[in-house]
Amino acid sequence: MTAAIMFQGTGSNVGKSVLVAGLARLYARKGIRVAPFKPQNMSNNAAVTVDGGEIGRAQALQARAAGLEPTVHMNPVLLKPESDTGSQIILQGRRFGTMRAREYGKRKAELLPSILESFELLKQSADLILVEGAGSPAEINLRSGDIANMGFAEAADLPVILIGDIDRGGVIASLVGTRAVLPQADRDRIKAFLVNKMRGDARLFDDGVAAIRAATGWPSLGVVPWFAEAHRLPAEDILDLSGGTVRPDTLTIAVPVLPRIANFDDLDPLTLEPGVSVVLVRAGEPIPVCDLVLIPGSKSTIADMAFLRAQGWDIDILAHRRRGGRVIGLCGGYQMLGRVISDPDGLEGPPQSMPGLGLLDVETILVSDKTTAPFSGRDAQSGLAVSGYEIHLGRTDGPDAARPWLERRGVGEGAVSADGRVRGSYVHGLFGDDAFRRTFLMSIGAEVSDLAYEIEVDRTLDRLADHLEEHVDTDAILKYADRATR
């Protein structure tokens, strides 16, 4: 029988995703057929599977760590927020619908059979499943109908490891407090705890570990020191990205952080280039003087276009363009560069049209036929091969599209202004291609490195696995998972 174990946290961003990725790489190196699984994720930073489905980017990284191609069954429910109170629901890789939070809370239990189906399908080709929870089981107000934490653990009869984050403070209270609020049946599922993100000498927390053990009765699996290289792995949350400091003698890329920013993995390779400073521009801040403005993807283009204007960023971007600056728009950012964005069917809210920045002579019409597919083509100017993926609603066309940025099988993709200083494309992941990234950066005056991005991600996963092997009782995790099958 396939062994399985679930990792839950005392809160969001305690490091569950990174820990599961590191453990997946560690166990895979030992010859164990391991697969990641997250019943429900909430993120606008999605990955596209080979068959054109969508899953959370964290699960795609975990699959990579395990040496697997990502599949839709690794993250059967993906919530993509479209507003503060509603999300698009992706079920087993495909768009299921859009629900407000209250409606989803009432109906989420209906998705459990599909989640369990995906889990069973994964088990058919794995020796070990590493399951990641979402948020915290301590949110007992969400326990009824839960499919993300203890509700799924109960349905699949899984043991649980509870993770606390010492870096944010209060880790003793968060671990002990989680136990205190859980019903007895859920408490009994927790087999051990893990303290994550310890800065400094871990031995200084020995008394803290003893206090948690005494208060909970749970054994400790270890105290994991801060892994300083975590930023070299693809981030799932924009809050995990560093950006804001302009280093001397570097090319500066300014990125306005939109409320519904999506698929910002385009930034990951750029942040690792030593000759580039990526500045994340937050609400209330002006877009600084820079070499390039990169407008990222958006889950709700019209709403984010309105936000961009409300921040005065449109004025900053147009002034940057008048000074001869360069502008790139990717996916939703590409749509914003055009003259108008139209939503006649109300896919993102009430039917409406909104003027774009007018930096490209193109227009976008949002349509219900969603494109989710890998992309393989070439740069229309240099001829360099390039690969990536598309996730978008909408079709964009106009005179500037006659000058495509990319080509695929003789068909143009994207648009370029007459002077070549404004470019837009629906393709994500372009800058992960080393040759393409270097050529592009050199063309706009950056000093480039010999960074091999994909190789660096794998090396970082290996170093993460080494880090966990040193500080975590990984044999005990296997024993807890194996006991659950007996």
**Active site (catalytic) residues:** 331, 428
Question: End-to-end alpha-carbon separation of the chain, Å?
Answer: 9
Cα–Cα distance list, 231 to 14, 198, 322, 456 (Å): 15, 16, 35, 12
d(CA 481, CA 5): 5
d(CA 109, CA 105): 8
The amino acid at residue 436 is F
164, 196 contact by CB (below 8 A): yes
150, 182 contact by CB (below 8 A): yes
Cα–Cα distance list, 399 to 176, 357, 414, 423 (Å): 62, 16, 11, 13
Query: Which helix (H) or strand (E) covers residue 438, if one does?
Result: helix 434-443
